[in-house]
Structure 1
Amino acid sequence: MENRKKAPFEPEEYPQGSPPLLHERCGKANWIPMCRHTCTFETQDFDKIMLNLVENPNLNSKWLFRADVLHDDCIQPPASADISDTKDHPHTQEFKGFSRQRTIVRRLIPRNTLRDAPLDQTCSFYHSSHGKEDMDSVEGAGPMRSLVVYIPHTSSAAEMPFYHPKVQGISQLYEWDPATKTGTISIHFLLFNAEATTEEVDQVKLGRIAYHLLQTIHKHGHSTAAGYVKRVNHDVIVPRERFQDKYSELKNKYARSLVQSWLETTDPTKHVFEDLGIAAFLIELWQDMYRGVDFPGFVDIGCGNGLLVHILRLEGYDGWGFDARERKSWSQYNSTFSGSPSGKSLQKLLLLPSIIPVEATSGDTKTIDPEDIHDGLFPRGTFIISNHADELTPWTPILAAISQCPFIMIPCCSHNLTGERWRAPPPRDKSKSKSMFASLVDWVTQIAGDCGWEVETEMLRIPSTRNTGLVGRRNIRDIQEIDMRVVLQKYGGVQGYYSNVAKLVKSSPRGH
């Protein structure tokens, strides 16, 4: 691959009144050129990134979740939904000097469905055609041109949702000269009222939008040409559409009241939206796991403020959580639950796994009331949640294997099996980051593998840098074949565990 230095982003605005560069075959639509920029990425790179931007409009707007593809004339049958679900058939135009190659109808899904409605939009892809009629009628047609046009399915600017510019169409034009290996990308708008005066159009706002659209193409185009490879893949276990729809539903139902009633000293928005996201993922995961059968219940070990337990129970899922320290929030989140030792959904308990050898407790168990200790044994099939459980994170796959329970662990701070802070060995995959967090994730994944678990990894869509979800749904080994004491010794042993976790009772809760 030829290395070309990426130029800084310094777009050039077209002067007001500049003649249009795009001409439709029929009608007198006035496509207004807004801004342009030189580029050094080639045609195939432009086509690739524009398809990605069509499929992922959230890259251009923070107000959008995604796009659902309703129709794609390159796919038979149409993807996701039938074209009859749209208000109209695809809205397409034919341009002089271009032939249409592909048409996609997408539905833009906003993050806040209480404020904005979804919007259907036709996205058409064109390549330059070099017929004599076209070449004669389009002055200065470059040797290679590509065009991507967005047409919203609305008849007026008043119908346009907040997240979409109040224009009738958006065009992204790419021109490339193979001889000099240089090109130009430009943005063009079609106004609803072609006769509108400058005063009637918010030129500043439209200019800002055009600048942003051009900047996104410029950035992604050069990254693609440089061989950028996406490092993180989301939506491996639960499809994005299902997760986002459930998350939006939960957010609309609970977010405002949960934030307003927050009792902890920590940031309410971070915790509320993070736990709503985890709850949405779990609910959709459980829909797949327990389709047609009764939900077996859940337990959240190291449940912290208890919010996740509270949300899941509000959604009708039976379960409970425990932590070494009670939180202020428990006073409003706690409820009756017959499946827990205390009959409450949130309980103060210290985990002392039954598998820990007596000698490893150093006789310290006498200092804690036996009723305040949990042995780590759960009814078979109970779904174990370990969300930023810190000291309990490496224990999660071990407890799950012993009780034959599926689990999810979302690691955060690094602790070994004794409960001490420590740094795990670097990841086995040398291409991965050697950070403390990456090392922890790899280490607990190894423990899970030695316990027989087939570990699935999901990068959760939550507002946290610690968003790696490790899911164990299938155990491929008979628990009788696994010597858990050997596993404990392999990963550093458990000597001093009890005295370390007993200190949690006297310490202040962490802020995560």
Structure 2
Amino acid sequence: MEESDLTVLFKPFPTSSTSIDPIDHSDAVVDQQSDTWNRSCSTQIPGSPISQSESIVLGVLLQPEYLSPVVARADVIYDSDTTGLEISREDVGCIGEFLTYQISRRLIIRNIPRNPKRDQAVEQSIWSLQKLPVEDDKVSPQSSSLIVVVPHIPDQPTEWPFYLPDVRAFAIEIAGSKLSIHHLARTRPTLSHTKSFHNPTADVDSERSQRMFKRMLEVLKKRFEKPDYIKRVNHDTVVARERYQKVYQDLKAKHADRLCRIFAMNGYEGKGCREVDKIFEELGIASFCICLWEEIYEIPTAARRNGYYNEVVRSKASSEPLSQFVGFADLGCGSGVLTDVLLQEGWPGYGIDARSRKIWKSFDDYVQSHLTESILIPYVIDQTPTGSEDDASYRSDKMDPFYTIPGSPHTYHSGHFANGTFLICNHGDELTAWTPLLASLSQSPFIVVPCCSFNLAGRRFRAQRPLCQVEGERSRESSKRSTYQLLINYVENLCNEIGVVPQKEWLRIPSTRNLAIIGRTYGPGSKLSKDLKKDESRQAIVKEIIRREGGTEGWNAMVAKLKERQPSGADDGHSRCS
């Protein structure tokens, strides 16, 4: 590691003597090399305009989650471009100045860790400096800039954040086609000749900071090589990332340990990380639903958790009947984790599945009473559980969606939902295509997270009909798409046919099948309505879609076979038609 040229240009400000240090360093000798910059690593990059170079570097620094897996995001709490540049020598983020460079912008960000119990949030100052024109300078001022990052941490803290380089500051220099990262070592007290004391930073991995700088250099180089790169997907288009991550952290702290113990009690801890991942997947979906519901129904979180939910709902204007949260129905609830978390958080609803899980008995009595083993036979199809007309009349006469048939040991669900019930289908497979159709019959909002491709008869298929093709798209282009992408297009087009405006959100959950399709508005700009006068026309539209898609022959046989199959784990994969 060589000394950097920045050392000559750097003029440090006097350090403040008011910093609090719980360790007595009276017998220590302060390292006099604390103002020396060292070059950590460097590489060659394509030449870029100065404005583009600054934008690329700031883009990486403002997305620390790509540099460290323990960081969730960075929040910008100050930007001189919007509030004006303020510089104070007493500012903890202002450590000095660089000759021949002029400050053009300052940002202050707060790094938010994924696990607040383990890591602390840390603020950092990001200084953008542009090189002043200097006579006989070999580097063009249009292609030379410096980005300096200073953590707002005392120079001798008791513990240094694990996700930050263990340095006082670091700088990213772009000089022509060369990209370099330099660092300023922290002031470290050394042992005196007469006494010894424990330095809490002495055991820090000396290679960790260098690895972090190399990782940063790799990411920066890729960004410079592809400056016009556009992400394939965009997160946080429906729910703000800050709100979602806050709710997710709260739910994880409140429920994760309890749910992990329940899984362990039922013997699922030995099945690898797959079963445990399902807990955090369901917590992520629960967090998204809660954020979405609080936005749609305008129910304050504090009021809901303090038991004032009913009063808040009753106080809503009667002119908007579906602005009230009617409840949720988790179709194909599997292990029941999602239903459990939502119920525990005060949201009324229930979960149904064709097979009960032994893990259900580990939930409290209230949750168990809202998890039902039930076979879903949609009332709009021509088949009945036993095929007799008496079954059809018995089912249609029941206002309660749950019903039984004499001689059958099973409980059935007719697919009737109270108007406005929020339907959830997370990896429901056989129910994926059915969810928007059932929601349209009751003019209900819904969320679908597709996984495996099944048609309306419950058989695996690859959606290749014109329904799943975008207008003007050639069949050859469609054939290049994956079965998963075709399924997404298929569900989207079903939504369009029934008059719902679909929204897509790539969820932040530990699953490769993380796209959610949300339907909450029917018709352009119109809100949900429970206009019962149009019930017959909605049924006619759904029945026409069923007829065109090949009918539902074999649905009962599929459900019966699924019912007989024994679950292999807490969730039995994704085949869980209710």
TM-score, scaled to structure 2 = 0.75
CA distance in 2, matches of 1:398, 1:166: 56
Q: How does 1:333-344 map to 2 (within 5 A)?
A: 333=363, 335-336=365-366, 344=369
Structure 1: distance between partners of 2:556 and 2:236:
38
What is the one-letter code of the residue matched to 1:511?
G
Q: Does 1:385 align with 2:429?
A: no
Matches within 5 A, 1:9-408: 15-17=1-3, 20=6, 23-27=9-13, 29-43=35-49, 44-76=51-83, 91=94, 93-131=96-134, 141=139, 143=141, 144-158=143-157, 159-176=159-176, 183-193=177-187, 203-224=206-227, 227-262=228-263, 263=266, 265=268, 267-292=274-299, 294=313, 295-333=325-363, 335-336=365-366, 344-358=369-383, 362-363=387-388, 369=408, 372-408=411-447
Q: Are residue 492 (structure 1) and residue 550 (structure 2) matched?
A: yes
Paired residues of 1:400 and 1:407 also in contact (CA < 8 A): yes
**Which residue identity is paired with 1:38?**
Q
Summarize the Cα distance change of 1:281–1:92 in structure 2 as closer, same or farther, 3 Å threshold. Answer: farther
The 3 A distance-change label for structure 1 pair 17 and 92 is closer
Deviations for 1:89-143, whole angstroms, at most 9, x for unmatched residues? 75364322222221111100000000111111111112221145xx7xxx86555
Over 3 Å counting, the alpha-carbon distance change for 1:162 and 1:188 in structure 2 is same
Unpaired segments of 5 or more residues in structure 1? Answer: 1-14, 177-182, 338-342
Q: Does 2:506 match 1:503?
A: no
2:226 alignment partner, SS class: helix
Q: 1:403 to 1:169 in 2, by over 3 A?
A: same
Check 1:368–1:467 CA distance in 2 against 1; reply closer, same or farther (3 A cut): farther
What is the distance in 2 between the residues matched to 1:152 and 1:30? Answer: 17
Letter in 2 for 1:71: Y
User: How much has 1:296 moved relative to structure 2?
Assistant: 1.8
| Aligned amino acid, residue 261 of structure 1 | I
CA contact (8 A) 2:80 2:106 kept: yes
Instruction: Please give the alpha-carbon distance, in whole angstroms, between the structure 2 residues aligned to 1:472 and 1:296.
Output: 16
* In structure 1, distance between residues paired with 2:419 and 2:507: 26
SS of match in other structure, 2:94: coil
Amino acid of the residue matched to residue 111 of structure 1?
R
Q: Secondary structure of the residue that 2:9 maps to in structure 1?
A: coil
For residues 30-49 of structure 1, the C-alpha deviation after alignment (integer angstroms, 9 at most, x for no partner) is: 22111111111413442222
> Match of 1:95, as an amino acid?
F
Give the C-alpha shift of residue 88 in structure 1: 5.8
Residue pair 1:66, 1:110 contacting (<8 A) in 2 also: yes
Q: Say if 1:204 and 1:484 are closer, same or farther in 2 by CA, change over 3 A.
A: closer
The SS at the match of 2:81 is: coil
Identity of aligned residues (%): 34
* Correspondence for 1:466: 513
- 1: CA distance, partners of 2:52 / 2:573: 44
**How far apart, in 1, do the equivalents of 2:112 and 2:99 lie?**
32
**SS class of match (2:40):** strand
Indicate the larger mover: 209-218 or 187-196: 187-196
**Residues 1:487 and 1:92: Cα distance change in structure 2 (over 3 Å):** farther
What is residue 180 of structure 1 aligned with on the other side? none
| Farther-moved stretch of structure 1 (253-262 vs 39-48) | 39-48
8 Å Cα contact 1:296/1:383 also seen in 2: yes
Relative contact order, CA 8 A, sep 6+: which one is greater?
2
Give the AA of the match of 1:193.
T
Paired AA for residue 469 in structure 2 = R
* Whole-angstrom distance in 1 between the partners of 2:407 and 2:115: 48
Matches of 1:22 and 1:347, distance apart in 2: 73
CA RMSD of aligned residues (A): 3.0
Measured at CA, do residues 131 and 461 of structure 1 come closer, stay the same or move farther in structure 2, by a change above 3 Å?
same
SS in 1 for 2:295: helix
What one-letter code is carried by the residue in structure 1 that aligns with 2:282? Answer: D
Distance 1:88 1:299, change over 3 A: farther
- Give how far 1:465 is off: 0.6
Q: Is the 8 A contact 1:361 1:495 kept in 2?
A: no
Which of 282-291 and 49-58 deviates more?
49-58
Residue 489 (structure 2) aligns with: 442
TM-superposed CA distance for 1:492, in Å, is: 2.8
SS of 1:221's equivalent in the other structure is helix
Structure with greater Cα Rg: 2
User: Aligned equivalents of 1:389 and 1:184: distance in 2?
Assistant: 52
2:319 alignment counterpart: none
Give unpaired runs (5+ residues) of structure 2.
Answer: 14-33, 192-200, 300-311, 314-324, 392-404
Cα 1:25–1:268 change in 2 (3 A) is same
Other structure's SS at 1:49 match: helix
C-alpha distance 17-202 of structure 1, shift in aligned 2 (>3 A): farther
Q: In the alignment, is the contact (CA less than 8 A) between 2:4 and 2:37 conserved in 1?
A: no
Question: Which AA in structure 1 matches 2:561?
Answer: K
- Report the 3-state secondary structure (helix = DSSP H, G, I; strand = E; otherwise coil) of the residue aligned with 1:329: helix
Say which of 455, 460, 471 aligns to 1:416. 455
The 1:213–1:316 alpha-carbon spacing in structure 2 relative to 1, beyond 3 Å, is same
Q: Determine the C-alpha separation between the residues in 1 that align with 2:8 and 2:464.
A: 59
CA distance in 2, matches of 1:253, 1:381: 29
The answer as to whether partners of 2:74 and 2:109 remain within 8 angstroms in 1 is yes
C-alpha displacement of 1:508: 3.1
SS in 2 for 1:336: helix
Counterpart of 1:428 in structure 2 is 469
| Distance of 1:488 and 1:76 partners within structure 2 | 58
Contact 2:122 2:151 in 1 (8 A): yes
